[in-house]
Structure 1
Amino acid sequence: MKILVIEDEPQLLQSIQESLEKEQYVVATASDYPEALEKVFVYTYDCILLDIMLPHGNGLTLLEELKKAGKSENVIIISAKDALEDKLSGLALGADDYLTKPFHLAELNARVKAVLRRKEQQGKQLVSVANTSLDLEERLCWVHEQLLELNRKEFDVLHYFLLNKNRLISKTALAEHVWGDHADQSDNFDFVYYQIKNLRKKLQEAGADILITAVYGIGYKLVIS
């Protein structure tokens, strides 16, 4: 799961990031409106934590842009402003929840989990393609109803492919979604290649009816074999 935290207070931003990373989320950050706007339209996130008052812009304006673009990321507003008008405006624009500062990080984590649980696959915790299924709550994988052991990154990679069946996925997009924003600083994507290689082997040995095919020079595509 990848989360974008949009917050201009450096200390709070760091605290939220560290707390979420302890929960095994991939966390990206933005500290002003232009940076946030760029990231929400370049990458895809499972959840966005959004401060209303931002340098050079407003969080509600960002929500409007997301709504216009038809993007369906789960959004939790985190703001020092507790006025009913702001809360109703945010919810009307598509926000899923509203948390007023100051708050306990444990409460924030609980809100994030609740939003993801409600929205993930429209409330479904099972993602299936052909004879391969993922239980997102327990982080388990089955092939032919037999449990297949995957490490955390393999699970996240497979989840991303299952959600994008038959779609061409670039190496960059895959790296950013699973490994975070820092992935684009790498000189190459060998780490992606090796994860795909290991995942392919496990799926093949388990008799999976899905296949991750390579598209030379671009990326990968998951198809039903």
Structure 2
Amino acid sequence: MKLLIIEDEPEMLENMRQTLERQHYIVETATDYSAALHKIGVYDYDCILLDITLPDGNGLELLKTLKASGKDEGVIIVSAKDSLDDKLAGLNLGADDYLPKPFHMSELHARVKAVLRRRHFDGNPHISIGNVSIFPETREVMVENQPLVLNRKEYDILMYLITNKKRLVTKTALAEHVWGDHIDQADSFDFIYSQIKNLRKKLEHATITIEAVYGVGYKLEVIS
């Protein structure tokens, strides 16, 4: 899962980033309105943690832009502005939650998990597709009730394909989502091919398969 933290306080930003990276999220950051506007325009995220007060703009304007573009990222407003007006404005604009500062990092993690569960998994604690069951909170994967051992990237690829099941996922979108926006610096997609090849082998007894669309990307299919 890929998150974006928009926060201008360096210490707070670093604490949030470290906390969420320990939970195996891909975490990207922006410290001002301009950088955040660029990132939400170019990349896709599962959840955005949005501060309202930024050095060069208002976080609520970013939220308006995000929703006007038709993107469906989960949004949690994280702000020291603990007023009813700000909370209602954010929720009315389409935010999923509002977390006033100061807060415990454990609460931040719980709020992120709740938003991701509601948005991607209809609130269920686990996902079932074919004979595969996935438990996102523990990152466990089972095939016919037998544990499947995946490395971090294999798991992230599988989750991204499952949350986009029946859709064609381009190689670029997959790389950006699993490896972050530094993927722009990569010379080729060989690292994706390698991870997909290994993942396919591990899923040999599963009733799902990863289909390659030559020159474009991948699609998850359920084997009937």
Structure-2 residue corresponding to 1:151: 151
The change in CA–CA distance for 1:219 and 1:112 in structure 2 (over 3 A counts) is: same
The secondary structure found in structure 2 opposite 1:123 is coil
Q: CA deviation at 1:118?
A: 4.0
Structure-1 residue corresponding to 2:167: 167
The change in CA–CA distance for 1:147 and 1:107 in structure 2 (over 3 A counts) is: closer
- Scaled by the length of structure 2, the TM-score of the pair is 0.88
Structure-2 residue corresponding to 1:133: 133
Q: Measure the CA separation in 2 of the matches of 1:181 and 1:22.
A: 19
Structure-2 residue corresponding to 1:212: 210
Q: Measure the CA separation in 2 of the matches of 1:224 and 1:110.
A: 31
Give the AA of the match of 1:32. D
Structure-2 residue corresponding to 1:202: 202
Give the AA of the match of 1:88. L
Give the AA of the match of 2:97. D
1:175-209 Cα distance to aligned partner (Å, 9 max, x none):
111122222222222221111010011112x2x22
Matched ranges for 1:16-27 at <5 A:
16-27=16-27
Q: Measure the CA separation in 1 of the matches of 2:125 and 2:71.
A: 21
State the 4+ residue runs in structure 1 displaced beyond 4 angstroms.
Answer: none
The secondary structure found in structure 1 opposite 2:203 is helix
Matched ranges for 1:4-43 at <5 A:
4-43=4-43
Q: CA deviation at 1:55?
A: 3.4
Give the AA of the match of 1:8. D
Q: Measure the CA separation in 2 of the matches of 1:69 and 1:125.
A: 30
Q: CA deviation at 1:171?
A: 1.8
Structure-2 residue corresponding to 1:95: 95
The change in CA–CA distance for 1:119 and 1:167 in structure 2 (over 3 A counts) is: closer
Q: CA deviation at 1:83?
A: 2.1
Range with greater deviation from structure 2 (88-97 or 31-40): 31-40
Q: CA deviation at 1:219?
A: 1.9
Q: CA deviation at 1:163?
A: 1.8
- Give RMSD over aligned pairs: 2.1
Q: CA deviation at 1:125?
A: 2.7
Give the AA of the match of 1:158. L
Task: Check the 8 A contact 2:120/2:163 in 1, yes or no.
Answer: no
1:78-97 Cα distance to aligned partner (Å, 9 max, x none):
12222221111111112222
Residues matched between the structures, number: 223
Give the AA of the match of 1:153. K
Structure-2 residue corresponding to 1:48: 48
Matched ranges for 1:66-85 at <5 A:
66-85=66-85
Give the AA of the match of 1:220. Y
Range with greater deviation from structure 2 (168-177 or 108-117): 108-117
Q: Measure the CA separation in 1 of the matches of 2:109 and 2:163.
A: 24
Structure 2, unmatched stretches of 5+, are none
Task: Check the 8 A contact 1:5/1:28 in 2, yes or no.
Answer: yes
Q: CA deviation at 1:173?
A: 1.1
The change in CA–CA distance for 1:165 and 1:90 in structure 2 (over 3 A counts) is: same
Q: CA deviation at 1:217?
A: 2.7
Structure 1, unmatched stretches of 5+, are none
